[in-house]
Amino acid sequence: MGNTLIQKIMARASGRDSVAPGEIVTCAVDLAMILDSGGPRKIWPRLDQLGVGVYDKDKVVVVADHFVPAADPQSAAILKLTRDFVKKFDIKHFYDMEGICHVLMAENGHLQPGMFCTGGDSHSTMGGAFGCYMAGFGAIEMTGVVITGEIWSVVPETIKVDWSGAFGPGVTAKDIMLFLARELGMENAFKAIEFGGKSIRNMSMMERMVLTNMAAELGAETGLVAPDEITLQAIRDGGTEPAADALEWRSDDDATFCADHAFNSSTLAPQVAAPHRPSNSGAAQDFEKDHIKVDQAYIGACVGAKLTDLHMVASVLRGRQVKSGTRLMVAPSSKKIMREAAADGTLATITEAGGLILPSGCGACAGLGAGIIAEGEVCISSTNRNFQGRMGSNKAFVYLGSPYTVAAAAVAGEIVDPRNMLS
């Protein structure tokens, strides 16, 4: 019987020839990522109590992305503590206000196929686009990882999701995930989701990262895409050479999956998720009849403000204006993306249309800093979650859509099908 990709990764990490779904194994951690939000401020006191340090200063990555830039004294104190932690333990990889952690992992070549990685954020699953295991853990679990370099885990079953065919205009990876949240549900605990098929193989790395990131919205432990030449080039773009065995990390042809789904990309329309769950989704065109007025359109987060996302936004806004009474806010996912979007004229297109550029960081996606919304307000967002209170008041309403869909809503002042604004 063959093995799935997740079984192979966890077998290597646990020092075993093979592992089976449902087994509990202890895995050596190749990379541990912690953040300003739930990292040093929660982990450091425990290290002091135990009189220990970090297991490997080269394998612990620290990112300040949630409380940046500091908007109040409490945020400033959290950031100072994070910087002090890095100095104290001589952490070699620290990204201070450089962008959102999951995007920075890709930009800086930290991920390789076959690695076993942990992150102190639920959307750490984004790393699985590189053919590695990466999942999110809480502060207590990450404390153990930072000290020992190990963690126990249940070997998950794998759901295989294949997409074939060509995407139509205005359809993106985000639409796939809003569709899957509805079709597969959000209760897939102790499962990994492996994305494949011709449509996925033709995707850029940035789009694949949306799939694995939002595996968290399906309730899965992680999401993965088997590595190929696109993966190898993304690793090189991050300044690292791919491992010699990079392309060997894939599920066997005779591997057993707990479920196997096949979908046709050519039939997928742009999707919108209504409050307060990503699974409350349907075709964007079905929302038009309700004339849902939008107070704010937000382009941001790890899934929704990459360079390709900003290009989508610009393609809608070019020659148009944001509707009076609607505000468009754009927070690029990293400083690198900000620079590239400025250099190619994308930011100029956005601002000329009436959009406002915000600093790179998690920001309003996590209910922090600029862009949060008030009671009764309606926001359509390119972020990954729309839970009640996620982006501000718990009496606000957040809809989710792709960058195309969010930009189209900013122009129309209400939720519309973006294909009407694409040539």
Dump pLDDT digits (tens) for 75-103: 999 999 999 999 999 999 999 999 999 99
- Which mean pLDDT values do the consecutive 10-residue runs of the chain (423 residues) have? 96 97 98 95 95 96 95 94 97 97 96 97 96 96 97 97 95 98 95 97 96 97 97 96 96 96 96 96 96 97 96 97 97 97 98 96 87 95 93 94 98 97 87
Judge contact between 220 and 187, C-beta under 8 A: no
pLDDT tens for 161-218 read 999 999 999 999 999 999 999 999 999 999 999 999 999 999 999 999 999 999 999 9
Location of structure tokens 């098929």: 197
Judge contact between 307 and 206, C-beta under 8 A: yes
Domains and CATH numbers, the chain: 5-264 (3.30.499.10), 272-421 (3.30.499.10)
Residues 6+ apart with CB under 8 A from 80: none
Judge contact between 123 and 385, C-beta under 8 A: no
Location of structure tokens 């390709």: 308
Find, among 363, 357, 403, the residue nearest to 380 by Cα.
403
pTM, whole model, 2 decimals?
0.95
Start-to-end Cα distance in the chain: 49
pLDDT tens for 317-351 read 999 999 999 999 999 999 999 999 999 999 999 99
3-state DSSP call for residue 158? strand
Nearest-angstrom CA–CA distance, 421 and 411: 9
Nearest-angstrom CA–CA distance, 423 and 320: 13
